[in-house]
């Protein structure tokens, strides 16, 4: 009597879990990524808090706020942008070693790779936030918000991490060379970081930079995080940060979809 074996396609949740575990293991095995993602933000926090603390004495700086309390939430946002470049490099590495083509030949949704990268970045974002928090407390940081502020800050941070992972992941998928992705990532990362209120109040910047900051999701995330840390955040601050990050995330997701629709028409 002959028996037949029926192949069952793994559930989407199982595929996503496998990809996520694979990304986490890969990230943990690359010292450079761990150094850049986890320890570099702490080094920047220590250096910036000492070198630029005189900013607190300048005009336009919030009264009664120490520079370490002003800087720490900004470093949470900035380090999330910096770490987002890892998603782009990882995507490019998958292309160069042929793993992306292997995944494309498997019976699974193409979007799962991006989702796994996003979950990976979210996990590292939470770990990085914990380490930054410990370093900041050692430098005199105080959290002035409530438990609700802490929860809202985590939500803002994770959503920003998702948007950055999608953005730099798209760059990695398009350029497909780790060295080029690193360079391009720097060109994108720098304006996101510095055209914001991360290191100095936006009011002290030139008018054109203030205008660009109004559409910068990192600027909105920084303002919301800082407000939650200082206990002065409003619902509008949180909503603005989430809307800005989600809008960027949606735009990034839409790019491959539009490209697939335009390419056949162009070919004809």
Tens-digit pLDDT profile for residues 109-134: 777 787 888 888 888 889 889 989 99
Average pLDDT, rounded, for the chain = 83
Report whether 53 contacts 67 (CB < 8 A).
Answer: yes
Q: What is the pLDDT of residue 3?
A: 53
CB atoms under 10 Å from CB of 143, counted, come to 18
Q: What is the pLDDT of residue 7?
A: 47
Cα separations (Å) of 182 from 91, 111, 154, 163?
Answer: 11, 23, 27, 18
- State percent of the chain over pLDDT 70: 89
Rounded to two decimals, what is the model's pTM? 0.83
Which range among 18-27, 234-243, 252-261 has the greatest average pLDDT?
Answer: 234-243
Range of weakest confidence among 43-57, 70-84, 175-189 = 43-57
Q: What is the pLDDT of residue 151?
A: 94
Which range among 47-56, 67-76, 184-193, 240-249 has the greatest average pLDDT?
Answer: 240-249
Average pLDDT over residues 83-104: 79
User: What are the domain boundaries of the chain?
Assistant: 13-53+63-260
Q: What is the DSSP string of 18-51?
A: HHHHHHHHHHHT-HHHHIIIIIHHHHHHHHHHHH
Q: What is the pLDDT of residue 9?
A: 56
């Amino acid at each position: 009597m002959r028996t037949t074996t029926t192949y069952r396609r793994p559930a989407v949740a199982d595929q996503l879990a496998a990809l996520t575990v694979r990304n986490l293991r890969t990230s943990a095995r690359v010292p450079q990524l761990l150094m850049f993602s986890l320890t570099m933000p702490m080094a920047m926090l220590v250096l910036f808090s000492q070198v630029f603390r005189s900013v607190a004495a300048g005009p336009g700086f919030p009264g009664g706020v120490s520079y370490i309390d002003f800087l720490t939430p900004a470093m949470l946002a900035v380090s999330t942008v910096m770490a987002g470049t890892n998603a782009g490099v990882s995507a490019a590495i998958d292309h160069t070693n042929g793993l992306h083509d292997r995944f494309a030949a498997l019976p699974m949704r193409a979007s799962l790779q991006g989702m796994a990268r996003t979950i990976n970045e979210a996990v590292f974002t939470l770990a990085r936030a914990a380490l930054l928090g410990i370093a900041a407390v050692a430098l005199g940081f105080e959290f002035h918000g409530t438990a609700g502020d802490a929860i809202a800050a985590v939500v803002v941070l994770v959503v920003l991490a998702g948007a950055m992972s999608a953005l730099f992941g798209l760059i990695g998928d398009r350029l497909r060379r780790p060295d080029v992705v690193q360079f391009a990532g720097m060109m994108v990362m720098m304006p996101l970081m510095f055209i914001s209120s991360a290191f100095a109040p936006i009011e002290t910047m030139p008018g054109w930079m203030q205008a660009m900051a109004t559409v910068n999701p990192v600027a909105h995330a920084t303002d919301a995080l800082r407000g939650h840390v200082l206990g002065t955040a409003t619902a509008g601050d949180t909503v603005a940060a989430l809307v800005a990050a989600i809008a960027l995330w949606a735009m990034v997701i839409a790019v491959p979809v539009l490209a697939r629709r335009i390419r056949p028409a162009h070919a004809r």
